[in-house]
Amino acid sequence: MTMTPESNKRQIAQGVAWASSAQWGGQLLSFGIYTGLARLLTPQVFGLVAIAGVCIAFMQIFVQQGFGTAVIQRRELEPEHLDSAFWIAAATALFFCLLSVAAGREISRLFHEPRVAPVIQWLSLSFLFYALSAIPTALLTRELDFRPLAVRSLIATGAGGAVGLSMAYSGWGVWSIVGQQLVNSVVGCVCLWMAVPWRPSFHLSKRHLRDLYGYSLSIVGNDVLWFFSQKSDQTFVGYGFGSIGLGPYSLASRVITLIHDSIIGPVQSVAFPAFSKLQSDASRLEDALRKFCEMSSFVSLPVFAGIIVVAPELVPLLFGPKWIPAVRILQILAVYGSLRVFLGFMHPLMLGKGRPGLYLLLNIILASITIAGCVIAIRWNPQAVAISVVITMLSFAAITTLVIVRLGWIKTGPFLKSFAFPLFSSLLMLGVVAVTRTFAGRALAPAATLALCVVVGVVVYISTAMYLRPALVKELWEMASHTLFRSQSVARENTPLPEEDYSEAEAEVESAEP
């Protein structure tokens, strides 16, 4: 079906609605589960799982081999592409599962943590379910049909959390988190296959594999380099300071990741297929990029700014006094999270333009300077490692922006302007909240101080927005309301309306509004 600008806008809005429900609901649920586990378990337990998680995340890159992304980006897709990708991914998953079982003890010796070997071996079972889910997930994402993904995410997260919290309360220690993650993978895979009509055929096609590998190999290279740029800090902290040092660092990193994924993630998941559809229309593509950046930074930057101020009260209140060593690391990584907002849509943009090789080159630069920074910082402490990744991301943001501008994909002024107001308002809010915390902390309990700071921060930020940019606030509010209303309509239909029915549907929506 040929997509008109209006119909494409409709699908993007619906996609954001369901992606947001999955991310916000799932991340909120995940955060609640993570908080419960953090209060029941020790930092050392989280350090052990973080070491195992680094190894599992690295091998997981080679399980999917970038096939899912290649399926989303490819214009002409045949059944043989899907069948071949599915069976290769399944065979690769089995191979890495067996490899993890065999190499678990060697990995544990490398990190000087013998208890991590069985954790790696059991968590490697998730490779099988990850491979089974890759192609169905890609098919739904390709069609901007995020409703099944939203439902699957919420059900799987809830089931895994129930198992993990029950095991932690019963004294299972590290196996509580292992059980949580495995149940999450199994339930998520089952829900996904119940929602997707596609089933693989038992044959492989070399020609169709070559079609996919032409794009996916660059994706694998990007993912490997992105892994080193994103996981090098935890790898070095685990190697240099063990599970005791990695526990607080992994918690701080997890909090920042949860915030980033819940705010940026929904828009990112829609941005790639949207950019792919608009790749031949430079003007509309640039407009979409600026809108995505403006929307995400408006919400995310004040959150990261607030964390920098209230982390001393937030961490012990949520996770308990045993996690106080994570406070300073969380404050530093909040700056890192803010920098990631500026780069949130560069990856989808390059993939949507069919230029994974360019992003591969940029990731080589990012991985190189990240590893170099961690090697230097590990001489001191985990906080120094966190500072090194902030400096690395700042340098990479400047390099990436320069490259994109030189290619003519964006104009520097309009692009930076999309971040100007959220950044200014967030810094203003940060200053006011810092002053409030200083005076309130002398008279109020930590919980009351935290609550007051949150209220003051929200009031200051919204008031500034209403005074300086009322049109932007109105536009974002209308977009959010419009998106939420449309998501209810999509819940009744899994497929978009034919183009000739759009005007009729619009009339029905208008008549239903109070």
pLDDT at 491 exceeding the cut of 70: no
Domain assignment present for 514? no
Task: Please check whether residue 506 lies inside any domain of the structure.
Answer: no
For residues 384 and 369, give the distance between their C-alpha atoms in angstroms, rounded to a whole number: 15
Distance (Å, rounded) from C-alpha 127 to C-alpha 130?
A: 5
Least confident of 45-49, 69-73, 456-460: 69-73
Q: DSSP letter string over 312-357?
A: HHHHHHHH-GGGTTHHHHHHHHHHHHHHHHHTTTHHHHHHHTT-HH
AA letter at 413: G
Is the confidence at residue 151, as pLDDT, over 80? no
pLDDT over 90, % of the chain = 29
Instruction: Identify the band that residue 504 occupies on the pLDDT scale cut at 50, 70 and 90.
Output: very low
pLDDT one-digit tens code per residue, 181-240: 999 999 988 888 887 888 888 777 776 667 676 666 667 777 787 788 778 899 899 988
User: Is residue 292 in a domain?
Assistant: yes
Q: What is the pLDDT of residue 68?
A: 67
User: Which domain range does residue 73 map to?
Assistant: 5-492
Query: Is residue 472, in this structure, part of any structural domain at all?
Result: yes
- Considering the domain boundaries, does residue 476 fall inside one? yes
Looking at residue 328, its pLDDT comes to 95
The answer on pLDDT for 10 being more than 70 is no
Contact (CB, 8 A) for 195 and 151: yes
**Residue that the structure tokens 């099988």 belong to:** 128
Distance CA 16, CA 490 (A): 12
402 vs 354, more confident: 402
pLDDT of residue 416: 82
Q: Give domain status of residue 127, yes or no.
A: yes
**pLDDT at res. 1:** 43
In a domain, 88, yes or no: yes
- Does 511 have pLDDT greater than 50? no
Q: Does 67 reside within a domain? A: yes
Percent share of the chain, pLDDT over 70: 78
- Whole-number pLDDT of residue 487: 44
- Greatest mean pLDDT among 66-70, 120-124, 138-142 lies in 120-124
The DSSP letter of residue 377 is H
User: Which whole number is the average pLDDT over 96-124?
Assistant: 90
- Digit-coded pLDDT (tens) for 309-345: 999 999 999 998 999 999 999 999 999 999 888 887 7
Count of structural domains, the chain: 1
Q: Is the pLDDT of residue 95 over 70?
A: yes
Give the lowest-confidence range in 3-17, 106-120, 263-277, 298-312.
3-17
Is the alpha carbon torsion for 223, 228, 233, 237 positive or negative?
positive
**The pLDDT value given to residue 381:** 92
Residue-level pLDDT at 134: 82
Residue 294 in this model has a pLDDT that exceeds 70 = yes
- How confident is residue 155, by pLDDT bands cut at 50, 70 and 90? confident
- Nearest alpha carbon to residue 36 among 165, 174, 166: 165
Q: How many CB atoms lie within 10 A of CB 511?
A: 7
Alpha-carbon distances, residue 246 vs 39, 182, 317 (angstroms) = 17, 22, 21
Q: Is the pLDDT of residue 272 over 80?
A: no
Nearest to 428 by CA among 395, 399, 465: 465
Residue range 357-415, pLDDT digits in tens: 777 788 888 888 999 999 999 999 999 999 999 999 999 888 888 888 887 777 777 78
pTM of the model: 0.76
Task: Tell me what the pLDDT averaged over the chain comes to.
Answer: 80
pLDDT band with cut points at 50, 70 and 90 for residue 145: low
- The DSSP code sequence of 498-514 is PGGGHHHHHHHHHHH--
